[in-house]
Amino acid sequence: ALTPGTDAPTWPPEFAERYRAAGYWRGETLGGMLRERAAAHPDRIALVDPAPRRRTWTYRALDERADRLAAGFAARGIGRGDRVVVQLPNVGEFVEVCFALYRIGALPVFALPAHRETEIAHFCAFTEAVAYVVPDRHAGFDHRELASRVRERTPGLREVFVVGEPGGHTALPEAAAEPGGPLPGPEPHELAFLQLSGGTTGMSKLIPRTHDDYVYSLRGSVGICGVDAGTRFLVVLPAAHNFPASSPGWLGVLYAGGTAVLCPTPDPATAFALVERERITMTALVPPLALLWTEAAPATGHDLSSLELVLVGGAKYSEAAARRFEPALGCRLIQVFGMAEGLVNYTRLDDDAETVVTTQGRPISPDDEIRVVDDHDRDVPDGTAGHLLTRGPYTIRGYWRAPGHNRRAFTEDGFYRTGDIVRRTPSGHLVVEGRAKDQINRGGEKIAPEEVENVVLGHPAVHDVSVVAVPDDHLGERSLAYVVLRAGAGPLRAADVKRFVRERGIAAYKVPDLVEFVDVLPRTGVGKVSKQRLRATPAHP
Ligand code: J2J
């Protein structure tokens, strides 16, 4: 079984004691939270899945469903500390499966619906997953076939559970069983799940979050955003992502006794219809969606008057766009600058309007330690841009099974090197000024260039490649692959490179948006490709 400290660094005892003494870590688990809410208000609606036929779950029903699935998973030998890759779109079963796994102390590994064979096979192999949960089909793609291929490659993967038509696998409802009695659940200081990092080098690193630390981030987020039993939260972004899950997200809403409504697709037409029909009060968007909402809201035929608050984050929200938001939507805006590794910053409901549109907020916790440093880890004065380092009661001390990477990504005294360049205002708010890490933020979807470069290098005609971000009006950034062809290689078009990457089985958002052929890549003094100089090269899309 997995215990914190063996597969990932955890907080030193003196920090853990401080966080408990301060009342941040209260010994709650996610499974216990649902149990308590179900006891307190069994008949309130916890969850709505509106498509294709509207289904609702009361707190009691969700609790019972989690118990039945937990019993069934346990009967199939899935136990405490086991990893289960969960790849589901925004459907009610996703929430059921999460709580079932939390109950038995098995760890969901949160894949995104867009992930394909390259990513899923890696998650299954690297985490030694015993099970994989998929929809039958989603967005025109058959996940059962993907599951069969992954299973062939990963002998340790014992079970595939399917929401919908199971094909040759096990239908999720078949996995449920009559609970035989209380299961030995996880301790609050143990891991709850593995979340995916945006990644910089190679494949995503896995982020180990504990019940104690995550529940604290929920409680803090709920307080800051004013979530309560009357909140009706629309989950527009993929529910497995840390932002819509926890900032304050569907989990925060369940923590507060409100109602989470799952939006099947993020387009404004679908979302606006649901806002009207479900009387939605709150939602969370990435900047490109916030732009679409701002453009579409004034002319929509839908009644959006129930909306009170929208959180925007995941990528930089331009000041100009932020200024247009409240007038167009007629509701409040909170900017969020967060990361699955932990630290989450929010603008506050009582911040003045300028602060809300010009900053990305300040930390949840008084014990979130923030350092802004130069290239040599020396603190810079407030108002000066520098690297953001952070440590605190819900920020991890290391990635899961990644000791080598952890030495680079964390300081010796446990600060996480976020890779973000920020400036701190006198009020303690952070303004995101840029990024030092080699990552592309495509409208909130994070791409590790090295991962894409490794795929492109597999093309027989490609000699070298470098993938960089280029500015984009709508997405903020798009990806551009500079490709050097092998001497004597036949002609290759941009479309050939893109098709090659797509056919390798990788999430569509990672396929380079643009491809440019060049004779050489600019190099730094030590012979590494200079991404800085490449980014400065004018692109010809
Ligand atoms: C600029 N960059 C931002 C912002 C995140 C809440 C909100 C977002 C995430 C998230 C999250 C940004 N302006 N407002 O987990 O709980 C970039 C930074 C950061 C990285 C983290 C949450 N908000 N970013 O986006 O793990 O570069 O989490 O380090 O996906 O997104 O990405 P991720």
Q: What is the DSSP string of 474-516?
A: TTEEEEEEEEEEPTTPPP--HHHHHHHHHHTT--GGGS-SEEE
Residue 136: inside a domain:
yes
Task: Tell which residue, 393, 413, 408, has the closest CA to residue 343.
Answer: 393
Residues 6+ apart with CB under 8 A from 435: 419, 420, 421, 441
- CA–centroid distance, residue 342 to ligand 1 (Å): 10
Asked if the model's pLDDT at residue 202 lies above 80, the reply is no
Residue 140: inside a domain:
yes
Asked if the model's pLDDT at residue 36 lies above 50, the reply is yes
Over residues 398-404, mean pLDDT: 96
- Residue-number span of the structural domain to which 526 is assigned: 440-536
Asked if the model's pLDDT at residue 2 lies above 80, the reply is no
Over residues 286-308, mean pLDDT: 97
Q: For the segment 79-100, what is each residue's pLDDT rounded down to a tens digit?
A: 999 999 999 999 999 999 999 9
Task: Tell which residue, 333, 329, 253, has the closest CA to residue 33.
Answer: 253
Q: Say if ligand 1 is within 6 A of residue 246 CB.
A: yes
Ligand 1 atom closest to Cα of residue 242: 15
Residue 428: inside a domain:
no
- CA–centroid distance, residue 162 to ligand 1 (Å): 30
Task: Tell which residue, 501, 507, 406, 509, has the closest CA to residue 456.
Answer: 501
Ligand 1 atom closest to Cα of residue 432: 1
- Nearest 5°: phi and psi at 101? -70, -40
DSSP 490: P
Structural domains in the chain (count)? 2
Tokens 């602060």 correspond to 355
Ligand 1 atom closest to Cα of residue 437: 27
Q: How many Cα neighbours within 13 Å face the side chain of 186? A: 34
Q: Say if ligand 1 is within 6 A of residue 285 CB.
A: no
Instruction: Compute the CA torsion angle 14, 223, 191, 113 (nearest 10 deg).
Output: -150
Point out the domain boundary residue: 186, 206, 235: 186
Residue 109: inside a domain:
yes
Let me know: does 379 contact 369? Beta carbons within 8 Å.
no
Asked if the model's pLDDT at residue 480 lies above 60, the reply is yes
Q: Which of 184-188, 338-342, 343-347 has the lowest mean pLDDT?
A: 184-188
Q: Say if ligand 1 is within 6 A of residue 337 CB.
A: yes
For residue 378, the SS3 value is coil
Tokens 């301060």 correspond to 22
pTM summary value = 0.97
Ligand 1 atom closest to Cα of residue 341: 26
Rounded CA Rg of the chain:
23
Q: How confident is the model at residue 537 (pLDDT cuts 50, 70, 90)?
A: confident
| Three-point CA angle 191, 126, 87, nearest 5° | 70
Residue 480: inside a domain:
yes
Residue 336: inside a domain:
no
Q: How confident is the model at residue 539 (pLDDT cuts 50, 70, 90)?
A: low
Let me know: does 442 contact 477? Beta carbons within 8 Å.
yes
Q: How far apart are CA 307 and CA 357, in angstroms?
A: 19
Ligand 1 atom closest to Cα of residue 335: 14
Q: Say if ligand 1 is within 6 A of residue 314 CB.
A: yes
- CA–centroid distance, residue 417 to ligand 1 (Å): 14
- CA–centroid distance, residue 459 to ligand 1 (Å): 32
Q: How far apart are CA 410 and CA 397, in angstroms?
A: 7
| Three-point CA angle 307, 309, 312, nearest 5° | 120
Point out the domain boundary residue: 186, 217, 240: 186
Q: What percent of the chain clears pLDDT 90, i.e. is strictly above it?
A: 92
Let me know: does 239 contact 250? Beta carbons within 8 Å.
yes
Amino acid 126: pLDDT: 97
DSSP-assigned letters across all residues of 133-173: EEESEETTEEHHHHHHHHHHH-TT--EEEEES--TTSEEHH
| Residue nearest (by alpha carbon) to ligand 1 atom 21 | 339
Residue 230: inside a domain:
no
Q: Is the peptide bond before 248 cis (omega within 30 degrees of 0)?
A: yes
Q: What percent of the chain clears pLDDT 70, i.e. is strictly above it?
A: 98
- CA–centroid distance, residue 217 to ligand 1 (Å): 15
Amino acid 183: pLDDT: 85
DSSP 299: G
Q: Say if ligand 1 is within 6 A of residue 207 CB.
A: no
Q: How confident is the model at residue 201 (pLDDT cuts 50, 70, 90)?
A: confident
Task: Tell which residue, 394, 28, 378, 453, has the closest CA to residue 217.
Answer: 394
Q: Say if ligand 1 is within 6 A of residue 316 CB.
A: yes
Q: Say if ligand 1 is within 6 A of residue 418 CB.
A: yes
Tokens 């208000």 correspond to 41
Q: Say if ligand 1 is within 6 A of residue 250 CB.
A: no
- CA–centroid distance, residue 421 to ligand 1 (Å): 12
| Residue nearest (by alpha carbon) to ligand 1 atom 16 | 243
Amino acid 418: pLDDT: 98
Residue 451: inside a domain:
yes
- CA–centroid distance, residue 440 to ligand 1 (Å): 12
Give 524 or 464, the one with higher predicted confidence. Answer: 464
Q: Which of 21-25, 225-229, 529-533 has the lowest mean pLDDT?
A: 529-533
Point out the domain boundary residue: 153, 186, 219: 186
Q: How far apart are CA 396 and CA 449, in angstroms?
A: 24
Q: How confident is the model at residue 1 (pLDDT cuts 50, 70, 90)?
A: very low
- CA–centroid distance, residue 56 to ligand 1 (Å): 31
Q: What is the mean pLDDT of the chain?
A: 96
Question: What number of other Cβ atoms are within 10 A of residue 452's Cβ?
Answer: 22
Give the end-to-end CA distance of the chain in Å, rounded to a whole number.
Answer: 51
Kind and range of the H or E run holding 296: helix 287-296
Helix and strand element counts for the chain (H, E): 18, 27
Amino acid 182: pLDDT: 83
Over residues 183-210, mean pLDDT: 92
Q: Say if ligand 1 is within 6 A of residue 205 CB.
A: no
Pocket test residue of 204, 247, 339 for ligand 1, highest count of atoms within 8 A of CB: 339
Amino acid 6: pLDDT: 66
For residue 211, the SS3 value is helix
Q: Crossing angle of helices 92-104/30-40, nearest 10°?
A: 110
- Domain CATH code at residue 168: 3.40.50.980
- CA–centroid distance, residue 148 to ligand 1 (Å): 33
- Domain CATH code at residue 461: 3.30.300.30
- CA–centroid distance, residue 207 to ligand 1 (Å): 14
Map 7-33 to HEC letters.
Answer: CCCCCCHHHHHHHHHCCCCCCCCHHHH
- Nearest 5°: phi and psi at 183? -90, 150
Q: How far apart are CA 57 and CA 146, in angstroms?
A: 30
Q: Say if ligand 1 is within 6 A of residue 338 CB.
A: yes
